[in-house]
Structure 1
Amino acid sequence: MRRRLIASTLAVVLVVIGVFGLSLVLVESRAIESTAKDGVDSEAVRLTGVVENRIAAGEPIDSSGLGRQIAEDRFAVVRVPGHPQVRLGTRPEGSVLSSTQHGDHGVTVTVEESRSTVSQEVGRTLLVILAVALLAVLAAVALAVLQARRLTSPLTDLAETAERLGSGDPRPRHRRYGVPELDRIADVLDASAERIGRMLTAERRLAADASHQLRTPLTALSMRLEEIVATAEDQEAVKEEAAIALGQVERLTDVVQRLLTNSRDPRSGSAVDFDLDEVVRQQVEEWRPAYQGEGRSMVLTGARRLRAVGTPGAVAQVLATLIENALMHGAGTVTLHTRVTGTQAVVEVTDDGPGVPPDLGTRVFERSVSGRNSTGLGLAVARDLAEADGGRLELLQHRPPVFALFLAQEITPQPPPDDVVG
C-alpha cells in the first residue's frame, strides 16, 4: 500500500509538472526570442539615428567613427547614398535575427544577431525549469513517503491490535492517529477490547465462584456420606443421613442453577420471603458433625420465628462460608446469633479464635485477599451473594471475629426471650 501511495502521488506530480513545465518552456522561449528581436530592432533604430546625426553634423561615416555604436555580438551594415558601405562587427554564421531601418537621408541600417545567442538563453532557462521540476519531484516524493507512513503505520498498528484481540489479549491500546476514519476504527477496536475484557473477566469470575461455591456443598455432602458409612448398621440412621445427603445434592443443584442464571443475566433476582430459622437450623445440623470431629461445638442463640427476604439457597451458602471459615481459621465454640434491628434480620457468626488481623480489616471481603493460606474468594463471593438480593455482609468485630449477615424483613416478629440451642 505504501508503494502504491507513493507511486500515485508521484504520478500526479509528474503529470502536473509535465503540463505546466512544457507550457512554461514554450512561453519562456517565445518571450526570449521576442526580447532578442526587440533588442535588434532597437539597435537598428538607435544606429540609424546616430548615422543621421553624423550626416547632419558633416562628420564622416566610417567604421572608425561608428565602431563603438554596435554591441560585440551583433553585426551591422550601414548604407548611405554617396558613401561607401560600412560594416560593423563580425557577421554571424547560420540563422540570424535581422532588423532593417531607413532614415530620412536615404540611410539604411541593417542589424543582425545570431540565433545561437537566443538558443543559449533558452537553454539556460530550460535548465532552471528542470532544476525546479526536479526539486518539486523530490519534495513530492518526500511528502508522499511521509503521507504513506502516516496512513500505513496506523493501519499496521490497527491490524496488530485486531490480531491481539483474536489471540485473547483484550487490553485496549487507546492510540489515536489524527485521521478521523482511522480514529473511528481505533475507537471501535478499543470498545470491542473492553467488552471482550469484561466478558473474559465475567467468565473467569464465574469459574472461580463456581469452584468455590460448589466446594462447600460437596464438603458437606462428603461428611454426610461418611456418616452413612459409619452408621451402616443402623437403618434409621442411614435413612436420616441419606435424606440429609439428598438435601445437600438439592443445594448443590440450586447453586449450579443460580450460577448459570447469574452468568446469563446478573440482574435477575430470585428473592422471596422465607423462614430464616429453618435455614440457620439446617446449617447448624449440617456442620455440627464436622465440628464434633474437631472437638468443637456449635451454639444457636437469639430471636426465633424470623422471616427474611432473599434467596434461601444464597443465604445458606453465605452462612456455610462463614461457618466453614470459623472451622478452618477459628477456635473454640462457634455461635450463631439471630436478632432484629429496625426492618432487618441479622445473623451473626462468631468464634473464640484470634480473629481477623488488623492489617486486613474490611479488605477480607476483597477477592484474592487472605490472611491465611486460602483462595481469598470465600468472603468475596459470600458478600456478592448477600448483596445480590439486597442484603449485606459485614465484619462487626475483629477480635473475637463477628461477621453479620443483614437481610431485609417483611414481617416483624415478636420474639420470645433469647434461648440457647446447644
Structure 2
Amino acid sequence: MRQRVVRVAVVAALVALVLLAAPLAVIIRISFFADERGELERDALAAAARVSAQLAAGEPVHLPPAQHDGNLGVYDPDLRLLAGTGPDPGDTLTRRAAATGVIREHTGGQLVVAVPLSTSERTIGVVRVAADSRDVWHRVLWSWLGLFGAALIALGAAILVARRQARALSAPLESLSRTSQAVADGDLSARASGCGIVEIDRVAATQNTMVQRLTALLEHERHFTTNASHQLRTPLTGLQLGLEGALAAPDANPRAALAEALEQSRHLQRTIDEVLRLARSGSGEGDAVPTRPAGELVEQAERRRHGELAREGRRLEVVIEPDAGPLPVPAHATEQILAVLLDNAREHGRGTVRITLREMGGAPAVDVADEGEPTADPARVFDRGITTGPGQGIGLSLARDLAEAAGGRLALTSTTPTTFTLLLPIPSE
C-alpha cells in the first residue's frame, strides 16, 4: 500500500509540475525574446532620433553609443550603409522598413529591428539593429534549467511528503491487519487501537465490536458446555449408582429401583431445561417459568442430600419460617441453586449444614450455612475457575448466573461461618 500511495502522490505531483512548468517555460521564452526585441527597438529609435537631423542636413552621420550588443547601422534610401555595421547593401528587411515602416523580425538566427528615417513625408534612410538570437537562447536555456531544478526540488519534496503520508496511512492499516491475524490465530483479546484517522478508526471500532461479540458468543457457548457437564455429572452418577446397586442385589425390589431411576431422570430433565433456559436468557426469549412454594423446594433438597451428608457423619438441618414456606419461587432455578450450594457445603465446608428459609421484605430468602470458613478470596469466590478443592470452580459461578437469570441475587453474606444467601423474587401473576 505504501508504494501505491507514493506512486499516486508522485504522479499527481508530476502532472501538476508539467501543467505548471510547460506554460511557464513558454512564457519565459516569449518574454526573453520580447525583451530583446524591445531593447533593439529602443536602440534603433535612439539612433534614429540622433541621425535623422544629420541626414536631413546632409551632414556626416555620427551614431550614438549602442546600449545593446549587436549590429547598428544607418542606410540611405538606396540601402547603402552610411555608418555602423550591417549588411551592405541593406537586406530585404531594410528595404521593407524603408517601404512600409518599422520591421521586427526573427530570421536567419538573428533578431532584427529596422526603423525608417523620414522628413517631410519622405524617407531619407533606415536604422537597422540586429542581435544574435543565440545569446537570447542561452538565457532562455539557463532559465529553463533553473525551472527544471526547481521542479526537481518540488518533486523531491513531494516524494518525501508522500512517503511520510504513506507511512502515516499504512501503519494503522498494517496494525489493523496484525490485530485481525491475531484474532484469526485465536487471540480474542486482541483489539485494534485508534490512530486519529476517522475512516480507519471507524473500521477499527467495527472490528473491535465484532471481536467482542464473537468473544461473548464463544464464551457463552463454552459456559453452556461447562454448565451442562457440571450439573449433569452428579445426577448421572446417582442414577448410575442406583441402577448398579439394584443389579448387584439379587433380592432388591426392581420397582423401587425403577421409581428412583425415574425420579433421577426427571431431575436430569429439569436440569437440562434450566441450563438451556440460562443459555437462552441473553437472547431475549421469554419462556414461562414454572413456580413452586419455596418450602417444598427446601424440603425436597433436604430429602435428596440428607443421606449423602449422613454417610460422611454430617448433619443437615432445615429451618422454614411459617410466612416464607408458601411463597412461590422459580422452581427449576431454585432447585439447581440449592443443589450447587449444598454440593459446595459438602465439598468445601465442614460440620453441620443448615438451610434457613425466611421472608425478607415480602420475598423469600434462603441461607445455606456450614461450620467452615472459605479458603478462597471472598471477593472472588463467584469467579469462574476459582476453587480450593478438586472441582473446576464452576458451581458457584453457575449458581450466581442462575439466580440473576431468574431475577434474584446470590451473595456470600458471612465468612464465619460460611453462609450464602439466595434472594429470590416473587414471580408476577
Is TM > 0.5 for Structure 1 vs Structure 2? Answer: yes
Query: Is the Cα–Cα contact under 8 Å of residues 387 and 393 in structure 2 kept in the other structure?
Result: yes
Letter in 1 for 2:35: T
Alignment deviations for residues 328-350 of structure 1 (CA, whole Å, 9 cap, x no partner): 22222222233333422333322
Equivalence map 1:298-337=2 (5 Å): 298-303=316-321, 306-337=325-356
Query: Is the Cα–Cα contact under 8 Å of residues 44 and 99 in structure 1 kept in the other structure?
Result: yes
Query: Is the Cα–Cα contact under 8 Å of residues 270 and 389 in structure 1 kept in the other structure?
Result: no
5+ long unaligned stretches in structure 2: 89-106
Which SS does the other structure have where 1:30 is aligned?
Answer: helix
Which SS does the other structure have where 1:307 is aligned?
Answer: coil
1:404 partnered with 2:421: yes
1:18 partnered with 2:18: yes
Equivalence map 1:234-249=2 (5 Å): 234-236=251-253, 239-249=255-265
Distance in structure 1 (CA, Å) of the matches to 2:418 and 2:370: 7
Query: Is the Cα–Cα contact under 8 Å of residues 75 and 90 in structure 1 kept in the other structure?
Result: no
Q: Deviation of residue 78 (structure 1)?
A: 3.6
Q: Which residue in 1 is equivalent to 2:109?
A: 95
Equivalence map 1:16-415=2 (5 Å): 16-51=16-51, 61=61, 69-71=65-67, 73-78=69-74, 85-87=82-84, 95-103=109-117, 106=124, 108-171=126-189, 173-222=191-240, 224-225=242-243, 228=246, 232-236=249-253, 239-266=255-282, 267=284, 268-303=286-321, 306-353=325-372, 355-357=373-375, 360-372=377-389, 374-409=391-426
Letter in 1 for 2:277: T
Aligned residues: 401
Distance in structure 2 (CA, Å) of the matches to 1:331 and 1:281: 21
Distance in structure 1 (CA, Å) of the matches to 2:357 and 2:291: 17
Question: Is the alpha carbon distance of 1:144 and 1:39 closer, same or farther for their aligned partners in structure 2, counting shifts above 3 Å?
Answer: same
Query: Is the Cα–Cα contact under 8 Å of residues 273 and 307 in structure 1 kept in the other structure?
Result: no
Q: Deviation of residue 241 (structure 1)?
A: 4.5
Query: Is the Cα–Cα contact under 8 Å of residues 307 and 410 in structure 1 kept in the other structure?
Result: no
Query: Is the Cα–Cα contact under 8 Å of residues 272 and 309 in structure 1 kept in the other structure?
Result: no
Q: Which has the higher contact order (CA 8 A, sep 6+)?
A: 1
Q: Deviation of residue 36 (structure 1)?
A: 0.9
Distance in structure 2 (CA, Å) of the matches to 1:344 and 1:246: 33
Q: Deviation of residue 379 (structure 1)?
A: 1.6
Alignment deviations for residues 11-48 of structure 1 (CA, whole Å, 9 cap, x no partner): 44434443443333233222211211111111122233
Distance in structure 2 (CA, Å) of the matches to 1:167 and 1:84: 97
Question: Is the alpha carbon distance of 1:349 and 1:182 closer, same or farther for their aligned partners in structure 2, counting shifts above 3 Å?
Answer: closer
Q: Deviation of residue 151 (structure 1)?
A: 4.5
Question: Is the alpha carbon distance of 1:101 and 1:371 closer, same or farther for their aligned partners in structure 2, counting shifts above 3 Å?
Answer: same
Q: Identity of counterpart residues, as a percentage?
A: 30
Question: Is the alpha carbon distance of 1:262 and 1:23 closer, same or farther for their aligned partners in structure 2, counting shifts above 3 Å?
Answer: same
Letter in 1 for 2:395: G
Which SS does the other structure have where 2:424 is aligned?
Answer: strand
5+ long unaligned stretches in structure 1: 412-422
Letter in 1 for 2:276: L
Which SS does the other structure have where 1:85 is aligned?
Answer: strand
RMSD in angstroms over aligned alpha carbons? 3.7
Distance in structure 1 (CA, Å) of the matches to 2:168 and 2:34: 48
